[in-house]
Amino acid sequence: MKSDLEELIDAYQEEKTALEKQISECVEEGDYLNAHYHNKALNILNKTLNRLKTLHNPAHQDILTEEMRINSYNKMRSTPYYIGSNDFLKTYLDNLMRQSITESEEKINNFKNTEIQAHHDSQEIDDALFGLVKGDIKRFTLYFKSSTKECIQFDLIDQAIEIRIVLDENFNTLKQKQLRHTGFSLENNEWTYKYLLNQFKDAIEIKMLLSHLIYDVFNYDSRYDAATLVYH
């Protein structure tokens, strides 16, 4: 029996197949404008599908990397360099590519067969938010990348949970646009989101907002990044 996540992945996969078919039909008919719009939708869908697959299997990105490597080796045979090579060099390249492809296939097989630990919500964010609302703590900060100073600070101010994003110097214009789409506004050179206390019943909505920030805006990758929660 498939899990909810697996069924969601299947649904997105079906939508992806349908979009790819529409794009192909538009190109064949010379309808490049609609092909362009469908392609933009496909890019968004692929990002979501990729995140879902990564949640299902943390090694998904590693599998994609090895699959791209295999694809690049297979394409090498159609390059001018390979076609123009003498028999000795072609034999050498064939052996080298065959060995590399075999290594990548073995890695993919290992990634797919490695037992995946079940993901459970540790409730740390829930506890911190309820502690803030009750007045047990004054502030807490979520650091979601060990390599930067980017973080999200939570304060209780004027009957609202104020969520403020602290950025590093590498924050670009595209990310600023994404922040506006999530409901943040720029105040005194700080990106701020206010969640009124009379709307607060549980942590679900705020955790959904955090998910968008961490995965969509800041591209959190559990293979390299370690999130940390700090109380003040």
Q: Report CA Rg, the chain.
A: 23
For residues 147 and 221, membership in a common domain is answered with yes
User: What domain range is 71 assigned to?
Assistant: 63-114
Helix/strand/coil (H/E/C) assignment for every residue in 115-147: CCCCCCCCCHHHHHHHHHHHCCCCEEEEECCCC
> Is the pLDDT score of 105 beyond 90?
yes
pLDDT of residue 21: 94
Q: Which residue has the tokens 């980017």?
A: 150
| Strand-pair partners of 164 | 153, 192
Do 137 and 184 have their domain in common?
yes
Which of 74-83, 91-100, 170-179, 184-193 is predicted least confidently?
Answer: 170-179
Question: Is the model's pLDDT at 119 over the cut of 60?
Answer: no
Contact 192, 184 (CB under 8 A): yes
Q: With 90 as the cut, is the pLDDT of residue 26 above it?
A: yes
- The reply to whether 144 and 220 lie within a common domain is yes
- d(CA 145, CA 150) in angstroms, rounded, equals 7
Among 153-157, 215-219, 226-230, the range scoring the smallest mean pLDDT is 215-219
Element counts in the chain: helices (H) and strands (E): 8, 6
Question: Based on the domain organization, do 10 and 46 belong to the same domain?
Answer: yes
Looking at the structure, do residues 71 and 44 belong to the same domain, yes or no?
Answer: no
pLDDT digits (tens, 9 = 90+) for 129-148: 999 988 898 899 988 777 66
188 conformational bin, left if phi > 0, alpha if psi -120 to 50, beta if neither? left
List of residues 6+ apart from 32 with CB closer than 8 A? 26
